[in-house]
Amino acid sequence: MAPMKIVALITVIITGGLLLYATGDFPAWGDPLSPANNSALSRHYIEQSRVETAVPNLVTAVLADYRGYDTMFETVVVFVAGLAILAVLGQGTSRERAAIQRSAERYQERDMINIMTARLIVPVLQLFSLYVLAHGHYSPGGGFQGGVMFGASFILIALAGGLPEALSRLSIPGALLLAGLGVLLYGGTGLVCMMLGQNFLDYHILHRLLPATDAVMARYHAMLIVEIGVAFTVTAIMFIIYAALSSRGRMTGGL
Amino acid sequence: MIAVFDICILIFLVAIAIIALSVKDLLASAMILGIYSFLMCLLWAEMGAVDVAFTEAAVGAGVSTVIMIATVYQTSRKSSD
Amino acid sequence: MVEQFPILIELCPLFGAILIAILGFRMPKLCYPITVLAMALSCAAAIGTFMMMLASPSGTVIYDLSGWGRVNDTAISIEYRVDALSALMLVLISSVAFLNVIYSKVRVAQETPSKIPHFYILYLLLVAGLEGITITNDAFNLYVLVEISSLTGYALIAIGSKRAVISSFNYVIMGTIGASFFLLGVGYLYIKTGTLNMSDIRSIMEAIPDDSKAIKVGFMLIMIGVWVKMAFFPLHGWLPNAYAYAPTATGALMAPLVTKVMIYIMIRMMLSVFGPEYVYETLGWTDVVVTLSTIAIVAGSFFALSRSDLRKMLTYIIVAEVGYMVGGAWLANSQGMTGAIYHLLSDALMTFCLFMVVGIVVSRTGDPKLTAFQGLYRKMPITMVGFTIAALSMIGLPPTCGFFSKWYLLRGGIEAGQYHYVGALLFSSLVNAVLFFRLIEMAYYHGAHAHGEPIRDEDHEQYRMHGADPDSQPKETLANAPWSMLGPMLVVAIGLIALGVFNSTVTEWIGQVVANLNVLEGAN
Amino acid sequence: MEFIVNNFNYWIYVILMMIGLFAMIAKNNLIKKLVGMTIFQTAIILFYVSIGVKGEGATIPILSYEQVHGTHHVEEADHAGEDDSHHAQADLPEIDARTITNPIPHVLMLTAIVVGVATLGVALAISQRIFHFYGSLDEDVILAKIQKGDG
């Protein structure tokens, strides 16, 4: 065995041993009264978030409101990833137009069955992703999941009909603009709260701007707004990641 | 929370993780990683973490696998270990 | 408006980055002014926050995001907490980042001409991440911000040359291990305390018995995580190549700040989350960690001696300096902690200044070796003034700040009876003296031989990296380094002296943070 | 059986983490390292999700309509603009916190999954760049090329 492997093995065994050693101190598994599950924080979210935000899905309520600042940075992480990939791989903007021109003939070369299947699936997928986004307050889902699925629909187009086909629907500059707008929508919502005299991301003050809402429903609606922002960014960046990685940044051909 | 289901998936997970790391074909490795993510997603759904499971299904089993296969396709499929 | 300063520090770079993302790809000329403006505003907000901190009677400023406040004495949303330590770090980070933007204008256009908007967006978000780390009071938010600063860092390094890409990959692997260990450690704290707010974790942990295995392992995981990220000696493998091959502007930002911010996290965790009693007394690992840092200092100095590449040499000096600060923080007395925090500030400025000098020298002479310094006093007198001040501070001569911070570290070491650490500090200062006097001597005396020697064009082009067309630029001569590069460097050089001259004020501010250490000593 | 069920999740998470960590350090191929990285990160997510589980009878962290909006016809009295939480709460059925899974770990792990895929994407881009420069993804081959001065 190579010395590197021995070092790795020793490191891993020590780490694993430490972690196993600590498991003995954990509260019983699934104990509803463990410190984590019975903390004031957790109980507050479970018992009070329905009164404070009127959102049944507790994960959405905590994600977009109580810990909304975290989620903004989660969106920024996605944004950073897309830009980082473009920066690392380089960007073929000048060639992009030529590639899209050639897309018609490439489209013919592709497998008919794949293309027809994609045509059937893509509208359903996009509609479902919009449902996931809009229904995130009541069921699992929300901006992130909806955005990934919407981005996946473009990836599906690229897989079936070739990358230029997908790029003709959502170009890289367009996607970057969309991603920027998504983060702007999230940060801007927070900024509007600040301009109305509250702290950053304190949505309740938005009832002055949103029609027919009280302080609680303002939070409810603001959460939807920021989730839409998340969905914009995620849709655009998921597609950018795929487009860049499947063409080594040249934005032609594809898989 | 179904104990037998839980234990079965956990054992599968370890086996699949080892297989994903030991196959020499990187394309196969990427595909198996997709299976790993999907099993993980089942496990989390079973633990009541529906949002996490949903995300993992979309991201881990979906997008991650696709971009990994894209990279394997753009580079080389063979691995020395 | 005034009470919004803490969040404005963070929002200025963030919105600057969004603005560039929306406008910059169509109008690349706008990128630079937007970045300068965003950094200037962020810097102003940081100074404003510092003033707020000084004015507040408790010495801390709390800013509550999402406006939920505390319910039953539990923070239910994420909050910002600024005390003297984080306020100092914020001013440091924002001003270093601001000066570096001005400095790097020319180099960015040369090194990465096709990626200017990308560079500035990633740069702004890296700064936003680092500032967020220093200001947030939420353990998980801290992890997210660490990941933002790492992801931008990976990319900023990887847009450099061929070697930079491979070192960036190593950085990804090591960085992910470090961040994941940190996340795991936070999970261990969460499972025992049920909260993520760092102040609340502290107050809940007081009720948990000291011999809790989960807390102990959680502390260990967090420490290992930040040690990997700060390149503490046996875990330093990723750092030298990553910083040495990165583009100049990236190196000059990341080398001074990223490791220091990780040390800040370590100190924050030790003082604010686990508490000095737990770290120094219950665990009793002080001797082990101080010994490790002694080894780090000695090893880093040896490696630095053996390198002939300028930037490589500096990166190994960073490894040694990390040893200084980790050791100082673990000496378990207030002198050592004061020294560590003071050195955090002064080392960031020294490293920044040196990286700027080396960037100028390498870009002008095209020679990455130590020999590039031959005869430079005659050709680049202004640059050399900055270099000399930074070198004197690195060695630890008064009146520069390097002397005072080392003085506190030494006093702390003697007080704690860790004589091997004291010895290593002196040894490292000696090595720095040898290294830097060699350069100063070379720059001063070898002038006659090198004078009038033409710049070798092959090397020169090699260091402009890909894409730059040498004919399109005006022919550079050694003398006329642009003022956009010299100005920030001189400001930092003056800052080095100022930080030393006003040492009593600085230690007074630091004293507010380490005050609880004195209580601990009094109890013994 | 009880003992096994209680600890099995934590054991498996440690084992998965060890597998991932070993692959990250010791594997030669860069893509394999990234496969290890994914396993390592999901293992940590598994650990967090395990924290929030609340045994038999606990349900997912989504409230029913009645729990949020009250059981009977209280539309006119429901929330006609008042912020008084006590008043609004009076109409709502009690929630036993023990019957609903802890949402905090889920929220944290959503973010962690996103961070994971972002890191994976950047790392894949860097490895494509490495392949472009060195023509290989095996660490040995790349190191040999660097040593020959081809760096």
With CB atoms and an 8 Å threshold, state whether D51 touches C144.
no
Q: How far is B5 from chain D (nearest CA, A)?
A: 11
Q: Do chains B and C touch (3 or more CB pairs under 8 A)?
A: no
Average pLDDT over residues C128-148: 93
First to last CA, chain C: 46
Answer whether C164's CB lies under 8 Å from C254's CB: no
For residue D118, the chain C residue with the least C-alpha distance is C151
Q: How far is B8 from chain A (nearest CA, A)?
A: 17
CA-CA-CA-CA torsion sign (D81, D84, D87, D90) = positive
With CB atoms and an 8 Å threshold, state whether A88 touches D129.
yes
With CB atoms and an 8 Å threshold, state whether B60 touches D62.
no
Q: Which domain holds residue B52?
A: 3-74
Nearest-10 crossing angle of helices D103-134, D30-52: 180
Q: How far is C166 from chain D (nearest CA, A)?
A: 6
With CB atoms and an 8 Å threshold, state whether B59 touches D114.
yes
Q: Is the pLDDT of residue A163 over 90?
A: no
Tell me how many domains chain B contains.
1
For residue D30, the chain B residue with the least C-alpha distance is B79
Tell me how many domains chain D contains.
2
Summarize pLDDT for C429-445 with one digit per residue, the tens: 999 998 888 888 888 77
Quickly state the pLDDT bin for C182 (edges 50, 70, 90): very high
Quickly state the pLDDT bin for A127 (edges 50, 70, 90): very high
Residues of chain C in contact with residue D37, where contact means CB-CB under 8 angstroms, are 173, 176
* Tokens 């004031």 belong to residue: A40
Tell me which chains share at least 3 CB pairs under 8 Å with chain A.
B, C, D
Residue A158 covered by a domain: yes
Least confident of C313-317, C439-443, C458-462, D47-51: C458-462
Residue B46 covered by a domain: yes
Answer whether C304's CB lies under 8 Å from C435's CB: yes
What mean pLDDT value characterizes chain D?
81
Q: Do chains B and A touch (3 or more CB pairs under 8 A)?
A: yes
The pLDDT value given to residue A94? 52
Residues of chain B in contact with residue D58, where contact means CB-CB under 8 angstroms, are 1, 48
Q: Kindly report the backbone phi and psi dihedral angles of residue D59, in degrees, each rounded to the nearest multiple of 5, phi listed first.
A: -110, 175
Q: Which domain holds residue D66?
A: 59-101
Q: How far is A244 from chain B (nearest CA, A)?
A: 9
Which of D63, D92, D122 is nearest residue A84 as measured by Cβ atoms? D122
Residue B41 covered by a domain: yes
Q: Which amino acid is at C118?
A: H
Quickly state the pLDDT bin for A113 (edges 50, 70, 90): confident
Residues of chain C in contact with residue D118, where contact means CB-CB under 8 angstroms, are 147, 151
* Tokens 């977009």 belong to residue: A64
Residues contacting residue D127 through CB under 8 Å, at least 6 positions apart: B71, B75, C169, D30, D31, D34, D137
Q: Which domain holds residue A91?
A: 56-246
Taking the Cβ of residue A247 and every Cβ of chain B, the question of whether any pair is shorter than 8 Å is answered with yes
With CB atoms and an 8 Å threshold, state whether A199 touches C64.
yes
Average pLDDT over residues C201-228: 88
Quickly state the pLDDT bin for C206 (edges 50, 70, 90): confident
Q: Which amino acid is at C487?
A: G
Answer whether C510's CB lies under 8 Å from C342's CB: yes
Residues of chain A in contact with residue D85, where contact means CB-CB under 8 angstroms, are 48, 51-52
Q: Choosing among A155, A156, A230, A252, which should be mutated to test the B contact, i.e. which has the most B CBs within 10 A?
A: A155
Average pLDDT over residues A32-44: 84
With CB atoms and an 8 Å threshold, state whether B54 touches A140.
yes
Cβ-based neighbour number of residue C203 at 10 Å: 13
For residue C172, the chain D residue with the least C-alpha distance is D123
The pLDDT value given to residue D5? 66
Q: Is the pLDDT of residue D76 over 50?
A: no
Q: Is the pLDDT of residue C456 over 50?
A: no
With CB atoms and an 8 Å threshold, state whether A241 touches D62.
no
Taking the Cβ of residue A252 and every Cβ of chain B, the question of whether any pair is shorter than 8 Å is answered with no
Residue A51 covered by a domain: no
What mean pLDDT value characterizes chain A?
85
Quickly state the pLDDT bin for D122 (edges 50, 70, 90): very high
Residues A164, A166: Cα–Cα separation, whole Å = 5
Q: Which amino acid is at A78?
A: V
D64 and D111 both lie in a single domain: no
Average pLDDT over residues A70-80: 93
Taking the Cβ of residue D105 and every Cβ of chain B, the question of whether any pair is shorter than 8 Å is answered with yes
With CB atoms and an 8 Å threshold, state whether B26 touches D29.
yes
Tell me which chains share at least 3 CB pairs under 8 Å with chain B.
A, D
Q: How many residues does chain C have?
A: 524
Structure tokens at C256: 């001074």
With CB atoms and an 8 Å threshold, state whether B71 touches D4.
no
Residues A249, B74: Cα–Cα separation, whole Å = 11
Residues of chain C that touch chain D, judged by Cβ-Cβ distance less than 8 Å: 140, 144, 147, 151, 154-155, 158, 162-163, 165-166, 168-169, 172-173, 176-177, 180, 183-184, 187, 190-191, 196
Answer whether A164's CB lies under 8 Å from C6's CB: no
Give C51-55 contacts, CB < 8 A, sequence gap 24+: C52/C2, C52/C3, C52/C5, C52/C6, C52/C82, C53/C82, C53/C83, C53/C84, C53/C87
Tell me how many domains chain A contains.
1
- CA separation, residue D35 to residues B31, B37, D15, D40 (Å): 11, 11, 15, 9
Residue B81 covered by a domain: no
Which of D5, D116, D128 is nearest residue B71 as measured by Cβ atoms? D128
Residue B45 covered by a domain: yes
User: Number of residue pairs across A and B with CB atoms under 8 Å?
Assistant: 49
The pLDDT value given to residue A120? 92
Average pLDDT over residues C283-292: 87
Q: How far is C169 from chain D (nearest CA, A)?
A: 6
With CB atoms and an 8 Å threshold, state whether B51 touches A141.
yes
The pLDDT value given to residue A239? 93
Q: Is the pLDDT of residue C467 over 80?
A: no
Least confident of A243-247, B59-63, C473-477: C473-477
Answer whether D26's CB lies under 8 Å from A9's CB: yes
For residue A63, the chain C residue with the least C-alpha distance is C77
Residues C495, B18: Cα–Cα separation, whole Å = 55
Average pLDDT over residues A117-130: 92
Which of A145, A238, A241 is nearest residue B54 as measured by Cβ atoms? A145
Q: Choosing among A19, A25, A203, which should be mutated to test the D contact, i.e. which has the most D CBs within 10 A?
A: A19
Average pLDDT over residues A231-238: 94
With CB atoms and an 8 Å threshold, state whether B71 touches A141.
no
Q: Is the pLDDT of residue C468 over 60?
A: no
Quickly state the pLDDT bin for A79 (edges 50, 70, 90): very high
Quickly state the pLDDT bin for A78 (edges 50, 70, 90): very high
Answer whether D109's CB lies under 8 Å from B49's CB: yes
Residue A28 covered by a domain: no
D122 and D87 both lie in a single domain: no
Which of D44, D111, D127 is nearest residue C180 as measured by Cβ atoms? D44
**For the residues of D53-118, what is the DSSP string, one character each?**
---TT-B-SB--HHHHH-SS--TTTS-SS---HHHHHHTSPP--GGGB--HHHHHHHHHHHHHHHH
CB crowding D14-50: b at 16 or more within 10 Å, else e = bbbbbbbbbbbbbbbbbbbbbbbbbbbbbbbbbbbbb
pLDDT: which is higher, A106 or C39: C39
Average pLDDT over residues C249-276: 88
Residues of chain A in contact with residue B58, where contact means CB-CB under 8 angstroms, are 145, 148-149, 152
> ω into residue C399 within 30 of 0, thus cis?
yes
Residue B79 covered by a domain: no
Using only C-alpha atoms, chain B has a radius of gyration, in whole angstroms, of: 14
Q: Which of residues 28-47 of A touch B (CB under 8 A)?
A: 30
Summarize pLDDT for C493-512 with one digit per residue, the tens: 888 888 888 888 888 888 88
Among D27, D4, D45, residue whose Cα is nearest residue B18 = D27
The pLDDT value given to residue A1? 59
Residues A72, C148: Cα–Cα separation, whole Å = 12
D2 and D49 both lie in a single domain: yes
CA-CA-CA-CA torsion sign (A212, A213, A217, A220) = positive
Residues contacting residue D75 through CB under 8 Å, at least 6 positions apart: none
Summarize pLDDT for C470-501 with one digit per residue, the tens: 433 444 455 567 788 888 888 888 888 888 88
Residues of chain A in contact with residue D111, where contact means CB-CB under 8 angstroms, are 70-71, 74
User: Number of residue pairs across A and D with CB atoms under 8 Å?
Assistant: 181
Residue B80 covered by a domain: no
With CB atoms and an 8 Å threshold, state whether C191 touches A27.
yes
Average pLDDT over residues A168-197: 90
Residue A253 covered by a domain: no
The model's pTM is 0.91
